[in-house]
Structure 1
Amino acid sequence: MPRYALKVEYDGGPFSGWQRQVDLPTVQGAIEAALARLEPRDHTIAAAGRTDAGVHAFGQVAHADMEKDWDPFRLSEALNFHLKPAPVAIIACAKVADDWHARFTAIERRYLFRLVARRAPLTFEKGQVWQVGHPLDLAAMREGAAHLVGRHDFTTFRSSICQADSPVKTLDRFEIEEITRPDGFPEYRFRLRARSFLHNQVRSFVGTLERVGAGAWAPDRVAEALAAKDRAACGPVCPPHGLYLAGVTYPHDPFGQ
């Protein structure tokens, strides 16, 4: 059965996360239903990461096994036709080796979190960014984030229901930039790179650093929270709708980009 890699973009707002669930709308369920329109049978796809309810992606990667030898472009076009009107799009498709796996072949995941500081309600991007009503100190947030880079026990910053075997992970990069939006207000973009992440790790980081930026936490308190290895030491966990799975890296890019 030919195997295909799919690069997937989606708005997570209408979905109960990536993973298929009985009687709930999910991204995996939407794509598998579209595949069944092309080859009528049960389909099971695997993804590089299982995003939570409300989390978005413009660089999720999944793989699907087909019976027919599809031209990748025609397969992506057919899937996009059958995915309508769900806010899911296959933005690239490539044939891969039978042993290639969207999750296990991956060597890095990249996440983006968007935070806007503005008191007035958002009209165009509601549900796409996290909005706070006060200014934030970029330098302080960067100082706090620096404590998180490297190999650590991230027990403080993972969900109590996280199923990972170990809380020890290596965070390769954590960058925060401030841009001025067209409306004149600041947007803070948190960019993180690692081989893998714990459940709610990014949202725990950003929620904690927002407290640093707001002046409620000193930057060094992030290091203290990390060292505590205690979930109770974490700052607030921010909402999911500012989070995006931005990309997945493989030893060889299946999409040739």
Structure 2
Amino acid sequence: MRRIKLTIAYDGTNYAGYQVQPNGNTIQAEVEAVLARMHGQRVKVVASGRTDARVHAKGQVLHFDTHLQMPADRFVKALNAMLPDDIHACSAEETETSFHARYGAKRKEYRYVIRQDVDPFRRHHAVTVTYPLDVERMRQALAHLVGTHDFTSFSVTKAEVEDRVRTIYEAELVETGEEMYFRFVGSGFLYNQVRIMVGTVLDVGRGKYEPRDIERMLAEKDRRVAGITAPPHGLYLWNVNYEKVD
């Protein structure tokens, strides 16, 4: 058996998330269905992590094992011929059988896109914020999130993991004309962590909290002290890196 590392992009608008579930179509189900047609049997794919309903990806990484002998890069053309238009195979390469899309990830990058004017053509891909925002205050708040912290206050109360310590290497706000996006690079992220961080920093931008309140929220380790959870459709899993972090 050969192991293939596959990178895909998808528009999550019409999906109930990445992971297979009883109710609602998912990204994983679509990819596995195409691979099953190619192999004549079920092929399980493993992802770097799951994304929620309406969340998008530019660089989701999967792995799967195959007995097919065709060159790895031909999987891209074959998959794209059968996948729906809102899921796209970007690249494929053969890798060592020890490679694991989830457990081997060293860094992940998420982006969250917002805009301050209504655009019906972007309604599924960016979150419209109609109230004034102080960008400098938001950047000050983001600086407090960088580093290794217990992010209990920025995760759902009933998280599946007990260890909520994560490292954020970069946190920035980038302005790009009519839109802006939050960019987070970290060792890994808790369930809803990025959306809660974004919601909280937006609350700083509108004057509900001070930038330094982020330090207090981290110290209190209580979800109730942080801000709102931002909507899912502004969130993108942008990149997954497997290189060792110095």
Contact 1:62/1:102 (CA < 8 Å) preserved in 2?
A: yes
1:115 aligned residue: 114
CA distance in 2, matches of 1:202, 1:218: 19
Point out 4+ residue stretches in structure 1 off by more than 4 angstroms. none
State the 1:40 CA deviation. 1.4
2:243 aligned residue: 251
Cα-to-partner distance string for 1:184-203 (whole Å, 9 max, x where unaligned): xxx22111011111010000
Tell me the amino acid that sits aligned with residue 219 of structure 1: P
Task: Report how many residues are paired.
Answer: 244
Equivalent positions of 1:137-176 (< 5 A) are 137-176=134-173
CA distance in 1, matches of 2:105, 2:44: 19
Secondary structure of the 1:222 match is: helix
Structure 1: gaps of 5 or more residues: 182-186, 253-257
Pair 1:98-2:97 in alignment: yes
Contact 1:37/1:82 (CA < 8 Å) preserved in 2?
A: no
CA distance in 2, matches of 1:112, 1:88: 18
CA distance in 1, matches of 2:170, 2:18: 25
State the 1:178 CA deviation. 1.7
2:9 aligned residue: 9
CA distance in 2, matches of 1:117, 1:243: 16
Secondary structure of the 1:70 match is: coil
CA distance in 1, matches of 2:176, 2:206: 17
Task: Answer with 237-246 or 162-171: which moved more.
Answer: 162-171
TM-score by length of 1: 0.92
% identical aligned pairs: 38
1:52 aligned residue: 52
Structure 2: gaps of 5 or more residues: none
2:130 to 129, 133, 140: 133
Cα-to-partner distance string for 1:163-206 (whole Å, 9 max, x where unaligned): 1230111111101122212xxxxx22111011111010000000
1:184 aligned residue: none
Across the aligned residues of Structure 1 and Structure 2, the Cα RMSD in angstroms comes to 1.2
CA distance in 1, matches of 2:49, 2:162: 16
CA distance in 1, matches of 2:46, 2:83: 17
State the 1:74 CA deviation. 1.6
State the 1:48 CA deviation. 0.6
CA distance in 2, matches of 1:160, 1:123: 34
2:84 aligned residue: 84
Pair 1:63-2:84 in alignment: no
